[in-house]
């Protein structure tokens, strides 16, 4: 928890130390994931919006990811474009997991990824995210029987956005990182595939504003520690 002064500047952090949490950290997003998990019944299901750092941060982040893979069925991760849920310029994901009763056996077998970020452009004003934009993801998710899913990605179809990774494959990654992508960013190789100039300009402004907001947070933290 961060306190603020009357001027709105950050003033110190509290690190939560809860016995029902897997790891002690001051990272609010990691604590939010842990809190959601503690609230679930043994058959409970959760879909949690998290920024990218929850998927790759070391220390407590790694410990929590390993626990999620072992003690819950973390079955789906939806990669979203920037600025959809969080501040402008911040990339978000939705992680889907089902709680399970305590068991010595790991509960996650496979994690399915849907990349709705690479080569996808949305803006908050001119091109907001709509339900129809995620129709393919819903079909791939297959809520009627998610154990009968089929990948759209393959060696023959490298542009497929729906791909499966095994638990051990993820655990073997550096810091058990769940931050994965496989699609090529066409804007880096195909200049004819760039978004319209006004869309690019709006994205640049959003990224600059997000950078300024991050700098303000750093400045507030530095002042509070002085």
Kindly give, in sequence order, each residue whose CB lies less than 8 Å from that of residue 1, ignoring residues fewer than 6 positions away: 13, 14, 16, 28
Cα 220 to Cα 226: distance, rounded to the nearest angstrom: 10
Kindly give, in sequence order, each residue whose CB lies less than 8 Å from that of residue 222, ignoring residues fewer than 6 positions away: none
Q: 182-220: per-residue pLDDT in tens?
A: 999 876 555 565 666 776 677 677 767 766 766 776 677
The pLDDT, as a whole number, for residue 210 is 66
- 197 forms beta bridges with none
What string of H, E and C letters represents the secondary structure of 80-99? Answer: EEECCCCCCCCEEEEEEEEE
CA dist list (Å): 86 to 32, 81, 132, 166, 216:
14, 10, 21, 29, 16
Binned at pLDDT 50, 70 and 90, residue 6 comes out as very low
Inform me whether the pLDDT recorded for 16 exceeds 50: yes
**Is the Cα dihedral 43, 166, 116, 94 positive or negative?**
positive
Question: What domains are defined for the chain?
Answer: 2-225 (3.40.50.150)
From 47-51, 57-61, 152-156, 188-192, the region with the lowest mean pLDDT:
188-192
For residues 206 and 4, the model is more confident at: 206
Residue 168 φ then ψ, to 5°: -65, -35
């Amino acid at each position: 928890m961060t306190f603020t002064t009357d001027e709105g500047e950050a003033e110190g952090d509290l690190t939560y130390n809860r016995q029902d949490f897997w790891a002690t950290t001051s990272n609010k997003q990691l604590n939010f994931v842990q809190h959601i998990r503690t609230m679930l019944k043994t058959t409970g299901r959760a879909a949690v919006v998290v920024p990218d750092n929850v998927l790759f941060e070391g220390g407590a982040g790694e410990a929590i990811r390993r626990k999620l893979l072992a003690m819950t069925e973390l079955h789906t991760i939806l990669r979203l474009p920037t600025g959809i849920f969080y501040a402008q310029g911040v990339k978000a994901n939705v992680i889907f997991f089902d709680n399970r009763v305590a068991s010595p056996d790991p509960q996650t077998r496979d994690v399915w990824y849907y990349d709705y970020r690479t080569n996808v452009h949305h803006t908050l004003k001119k091109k907001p995210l709509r339900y129809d934009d995620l129709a393919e993801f819903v079909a791939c998710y297959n809520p009627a029987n998610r154990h009968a899913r089929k990948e759209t990605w393959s060696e023959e179809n490298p542009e497929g956005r729906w791909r499966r990774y095994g638990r051990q494959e993820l655990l073997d990654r550096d810091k058990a990182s769940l931050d994965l992508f496989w699609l090529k960013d066409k804007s880096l190789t195909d200049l004819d595939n760039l978004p319209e100039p006004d869309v690019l300009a709006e994205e640049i402004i959003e990224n600059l504003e997000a950078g300024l907001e991050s700098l303000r947070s750093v400045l507030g933290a530095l002042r509070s520690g002085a």
